[in-house]
Chain A
């Protein structure tokens, strides 16, 4: 009888402990639930990059285009972007680019590009795809073409090292037409670029 009563008490105590433990787990899940995303609406980033620029429609061959009217050049760019949603951002980039010519002159351009970026992400990898349009100041010898239309498309891959910094690579394509009252002078430039870039997120 005494053994039965001791066994019953032990069973009841253990059952109560199990019951309270279950209730505690349920309470912990509801307090610490987190849905983490790399970017949230309102997040911003500043982007800085250096690129090699290839003139596609002036003759010559990859990679230096030495025999073309325009040769391989370079550019740097600086941009500001703000997320509208967790995957869509809007911003503006300014580039500073140059390409040497076959006659030992220099073609330079400074475009201001307003753009939209769609950025899917997997784990810490981000894949921005950007399209934009804007205007450019184009210079050659003592000649200037302003404002020149510029249409730009860009795709890249970035790795978020920490919440504030990401680094990656971009491929870029630019279309720069030049239109004149004398249509015989109408022309356009197609440029492809490859860049390394850093982004500061805040």
Chain B
């Protein structure tokens, strides 16, 4: 009798342990419902490693420019003025990106200010000893029409040309050294380049080296600590209250729209979203359990966040980052720009529109080799409200 009870107890404990382990390791991620939101991917027109998406205004029209070794542009005047892309105004959502001439071999990054489009380029020379074709030099150009280019000359305090300091294997810092406020309002656009810790404000064919005297008045450092050492690592900028905010974080944006000045600046600090309200001097950072933030785009009521693990959406409460939330019903954002991708850039053409109501663009890459057979595309994506889907551009 005792033996039977022991056996029964052992079996019961075993079954209980197995059942508990099921509960302990259970996962309930949405799968079939997400698969139903997928769409067939189009053949990409603009692919490759895209470092920046720049807004540019020329001849009264609004454009987006991207560099992927070449230079591509798209007329987004209609979407920027409040009419998002639908099937009625875009035949089958066919990509209308066009390629334009570049002044030298390959482009690295693009930025803009109120007047000029800036293009950082690199040349390659064959190293026959090593059997490689490494970058041999970098050059910066500007243009008012993205057609005729003029070389930009940058000299430090001693009168030395500093562009020659850029070089090496085209590492991450080189790719991200050209940046701008990328404001919706043309007059608030300012472009900068950081070369070996020397930050220049670009003014057409020349640039002005920022000194410590410039910080605190025209230029505000964000976030703390505001130190000369930090100033040398500037990689992001935004415009608010007549001042230019600089940061060492790549991701920075504001809630400026075509009809309203910004009253909040947002930036990505690791996995936190920081924000600074107009009139305040100290930023606040919220930990929303995101992956490392690479890019930010403001939309009405939310922020679209490009991270090292895909795209996310964060809701705003009184302009303050609140919590991670889901994309528009039926959107395939999180399965198209999935966790296997790094979302380097995300931009909202008309930030006055809510997510799901305005055009959005983003770029994806994957670090080193793809960690998944699913993540295979490096390049440009677009979301159009008319189709409520992200797809390749």
Contact = CB atoms under 8 A, between A and B. Distances in A.
Interface of A: 58, 69-70, 101-107, 135, 138-147, 178, 180-181, 184-189
A104 B35 CA distance: 11
B336 A103 contact: yes
Interface in B166-205: none
B33 A135 contact: no
A141 B374 contact: yes
* 10 smallest beta-carbon distances between A and B, as pairs: A103-B38, A143-B29, A187-B32, A144-B27, A142-B339, A105-B374, A185-B33, A140-B31, A185-B30, A141-B338
Contacts of B372: 141
B218 interface: no
A135 B25 CA distance: 13
A103 B31 contact: no
B36 interface: yes
Interface SS of A by simple majority: strand
Contact of A188 (B32, B39, B40, B374): B32
A180 B28 contact: yes
Interface residues of B, number: 28
Contacts of B34: 140, 143
A187 B33 CA distance: 6
Nearest to A181: B28
Contacts of B376: 104
Nearest to B36: A69
Interface in B301-351: 309, 332, 335-336, 338-340
Contacts of B340: 141-142
Interface string B354-388: 00000000000000000011101000000000000
A8 to B, nearest CB: 77
14 contacts: A58-B35, A104-B376, A105-B35, A105-B335, A106-B373, A107-B35, A140-B35, A141-B339, A142-B340, A143-B30, A144-B27, A146-B27, A178-B33, A186-B33
A145 B41 CA distance: 25
A147 B29 CA distance: 11
B35 A69 contact: yes
Nearest to B309: A142
B338 A187 contact: no
Nearest to A55: B35
B22 A135 contact: yes
A145 B27 contact: yes
A101 B339 contact: no
Contact of B38 (A101, A180, A187, A189): A101
Contacts of B336: 103
Contacts of A139: 31
B25 A189 contact: no
Contact of B332 (A103, A140, A145, A187): A103
A178 B26 CA distance: 13
A61 to B, nearest CB: 15
B22 A107 contact: no
B111 to A, nearest CB: 33
B32 A189 contact: yes
Interface centre among A102, A143, A180, A184 (most CB of B within 10 A): A143
